[in-house]
Structure 1
Amino acid sequence: MSDQVKDALRAEVRARYGGIAVAGGSCCGASQCAPQPLGNPLASASVGYAAEEMAAVPDGANMGLGCGNPQAIAELQAGETVLDLGSGGGFDCFLAARQVGAAGRVIGVDMTPEMLAKARDNARKGGYANVEFRLGEIEHLPVADSSVDVIISNCVINLSPDKAQVFAETCRVLRPGGRLAISDVVAVAPLPPELGAITEAYTCCAAGAAPVAEIEAMLKQAGFSAVSVEIKEDSRAFIKDWMADSGIENYIRSAVIIAEKS
């Protein structure tokens, strides 16, 4: 994939999610999505969030844009520093902040200025003194070397056109022994050309999904060990609503991706 194509994909993603931050709605184009796909806060219940978690964050933080609940699998400890890739409105950051406590710290990184503004406003409303948000691409993290204990992310890395670079960056900023706890989508079958050619299929977290073997190889190449990619077969139930009547659930699944920095 050329740099020009990569930049074009990033621009599409930035425009789509910037629009969601301002006006709400789905990650997908209206022509492709079901009446209430992602973008609906209640969608978070179907991907693993408890009612108490959804009620614990400021209004507007839960945008229903995930495919799992990464902070629930991260086994966060008090005092840890957590980095959220593609932090959106701050939902997972605020939940992580409760777990790491006042002695801990949470950093959210997002490449969309509109999302960043929304997250910062939510942090102000919620009084989250231990959470900050930074503008940046996940392929080029604005975070110091070996400064983070745990990295979480929710259905974002699939949107990157350079996943190997993302994993290299995550390894760089993690401390030795630091860990990844990621919810994302993976490819379980090749996407049909007619579906993959639709721009919305990329911004809708479908066309950018990589096969499990590729993800495992990229993580190991970046310097991770104890790599685990667990496919969630029950995710078919909510993925089918992402692009109505497209059969997208036959090609991608949500997965839990865990690894440790060697």
Structure 2
Amino acid sequence: MTNDESAVRRLVRDRYADAASEGCCGGTETSCCGGDDGTSDTASDAAEIAREIGYDDEAIETVDGEANLGLGCGNPTAIADLEPGETVLDLGSGGGFDCFLAAREVGPEGRVIGVDMTPEMIEKARANARANDAGNVSFRLGEIEHLPVADGVVDTIISNCVVNLSPAKDRVFEEAYRVLRPGGRLAITDPVRTDSLPESVREDPGSLAGCISGAESPERIASLLEAAGFIDIRVELDPDSREVIDEWHDEYDLGGSLLSARIEAEKPVE
């Protein structure tokens, strides 16, 4: 790991440690949660953000505790087509919101594994698992570039606004490929860059931890997935996400240069 990669991980870990304790990115001015100023009702803010990015009221109200931190850019469980009995892995699981929604789909015979590199998030997620009586959901401390998961044991991988935070996205997709069973699939939501960003934004540490400057182009994402071995790759932009994402940076008008994307791919059947 290079010094730059280590610095990025420390920056992201610190940001989301704050989010675990304070909610909604810790009230930061540049964040995946729309720039909450820390003065309003965090739970209400998170619920409203969830609605804006594709969750319905039933999903929001079904999950108890503080699992919904308002940190996403889409609804990966809506595109994953989960089946009862499957094993699901959530990359960067945060407070566990998507894990608990996935658990409803896979049922008691299935299981859901959440991986997050922030100890504070893991602690919060495990508390939320107890609040939701989610016996088929577990959380593991680890980096998405070095997953604490065995080879070929996962049916579906989900993730929400996390891959962009990694300084080594090629390794993220290689690891995703490794842990998937043959025929397994990846269904994630992540911001992608549709236009260039100013140098001041690209070099702003807050923009990186805020899910902005780490975003890649759709073409780059597809190329990384293909290099990892995936097939049937689809990167579908969500034009309706522009209004939400344009609010992520309070100093610069993103002007539609970032959009949420639904990213899907499959591991070939051997």
The bucket for the TM-score relative to the shorter chain is over 0.9
* Cα pair 1:28 1:201 within 8 Å, conserved: no
Aligned to 1:90: 96
* Cα pair 1:71 1:95 within 8 Å, conserved: yes
Q: Displacement of 1:23 after TM fit?
A: 1.9
Q: Displacement of 1:245 after TM fit?
A: 4.4
SS at 1:71 equivalent: helix
Matched, 1:62 2:68: yes
Matched, 1:139 2:174: no
Alignment of 1:1-262 (within 5 A): 3-26=2-25, 29-30=28-29, 34-35=35-36, 40-41=45-46, 42-262=48-268
SS at 1:26 equivalent: helix
Q: Displacement of 1:246 after TM fit?
A: 1.1
Q: Displacement of 1:53 after TM fit?
A: 0.2
Runs of 4+ in 1 over 3 A off after TM superposition: 31-37
Give 1:30's aligned amino acid.
E
Q: Displacement of 1:241 after TM fit?
A: 1.3
Q: Displacement of 1:36 after TM fit?
A: 5.7
Q: Displacement of 1:249 after TM fit?
A: 4.1
* Cα pair 2:27 2:37 within 8 Å, conserved: no
Deviations along 1:7-39, whole A, 9 cap, x unmatched?
1001000000001101223367337864469x7
SS at 1:121 equivalent: helix
Q: Displacement of 1:195 after TM fit?
A: 1.3
* Cα pair 1:28 1:204 within 8 Å, conserved: no
Give 1:10's aligned amino acid.
R
* 231-240 or 129-138, larger mean C-alpha shift: 231-240
SS at 2:260 equivalent: strand
For structure 2, which runs of at least 5 residues remain unmatched after alignment? Answer: none
Give 1:57's aligned amino acid.
V
Q: Displacement of 1:248 after TM fit?
A: 2.0
Q: Displacement of 1:197 after TM fit?
A: 1.5
SS at 1:248 equivalent: coil
* Cα pair 1:59 1:122 within 8 Å, conserved: yes
Q: Displacement of 1:98 after TM fit?
A: 0.3
CA distance in 1, matches of 2:155, 2:113: 11
Deviations along 1:98-119, whole A, 9 cap, x unmatched?
0000000000000000000000
CA distance in 1, matches of 2:35, 2:92: 24
Q: Displacement of 1:250 after TM fit?
A: 2.9
| TM-score w.r.t. length of structure 2 | 0.93
Q: Displacement of 1:77 after TM fit?
A: 0.2
Give 1:157's aligned amino acid.
V
CA RMSD of superposed structures (Å): 1.6
Q: Displacement of 1:59 after TM fit?
A: 2.1
CA distance in 2, matches of 1:120, 1:35: 25
SS at 1:230 equivalent: strand
Give 2:221's aligned amino acid.
I
Change (3 A) 1:259 1:121: same
CA distance in 2, matches of 1:204, 1:245: 13
* Cα pair 2:103 2:137 within 8 Å, conserved: yes
